[in-house]
Amino acid sequence: MLVAAAVCPCPPLLVPEVAAGAAPELDAARDACADAVGVLAASRPDLLVVVGPAPTGADGTYHPGTPGSFRGFGADLTVRLGTGPAREPDQEPARELPYSLSVAAWLLSRARWDACPVEGAAVTEDLAPERAVELGRRTATRAGRVALLVMGDGSACRGVKAPGYLDERAEGFDALAARALGAADTAALKALDAPLARELKAAGRAPWQVLAGAAEDTSAAGRLLYDEAPYGVGYLVAAWT
């Protein structure tokens, strides 16, 4: 069953080596993510599952120790998912983590995570809400005590310089998601509008609905730790226990 969850944004800019001179601008977000990951460790999980968005073809499951890198973002930095063993030389090379799970791996390495094994589950932005919820239900049964690290951004349309330009609907969508995440409101998360989320480039919609499915039979309590829109993108951090 689910015992804890952390919700974090997944921009590669969270990684200082990627952000370079702009790194201090996201210090508060990094600190909030560290606090959320700390809640996971304190829950004494048997298994941590990282859930994040990915393009079609990169979705699916990722085993402990899967590598990821930030070379595509100009940083010579590699990470691994948890502390699982690397693959043996005679095995086929593992596919690399999508960027959202690479950011999660970086957050866990920063926290020196060693509480339990870590697995990954990447989902596409067009995953139907009911399928996301069902994935969450199945994930919650993977071990006696399951924790989730849920990666995903809000809308990318919060200003004229945002990746998706300005959309007047974006602030309301992000506010609804923030309230739901802060209150551990699984019904509100399940009800998030998938077509609207796609129009607003909100990559967190499907991962948040996976969380809703995992937590639906629990009495979770939530705390919203960060809610800002730097660069016109909604970044939310929350912790559920």
Bridge partners of 50, per DSSP, are: 120, 149
Q: What tens digit of pLDDT does each residue of 38-94 get?
A: 999 999 999 999 999 999 999 999 999 999 999 999 999 999 998 755 544 444 556
Report which of 113, 121, 142 is spatially closest to residue 62, judged by C-alpha positions.
Answer: 121
Q: What is this structure's pTM? A: 0.94
Report residue 223 as tokens: 């705390």
Neighbours of 95 (CB within 10 A): 13
Residue 11: φ, ψ to 5°: -75, 135
CA distances from 65 to 70, 129, 149, 170 (A): 16, 29, 16, 36
Per-residue pLDDT, 23: 79
With beta carbons less than 8 A apart as the criterion, state whether 48 and 119 touch.
yes
Domains defined along the chain, listed by start: 2-240 (3.40.830.10)
Count the residues in the chain. 241
In our burial notation (b when 16+ CB lie closer than 10 A, e otherwise), range 44-81 reads ebebbbbbbbbeeebbeebebbbbbbbeebebebebbb
Average pLDDT, the chain: 94
pLDDT value of position 175: 98
Low-confidence ranges of the chain (pLDDT < 50): 87-91
For the record, the structure tokens of 147 come out as 């924790």
Cα separation, 107 vs 220, in Å, equals 23
pLDDT for 83: 75
Strands (E), the chain: 2-8, 47-53, 60-62, 67-69, 78-80, 118-123, 146-151, 222-228, 235-240
How many angstroms separate the first and last alpha carbons of the chain?
Answer: 12
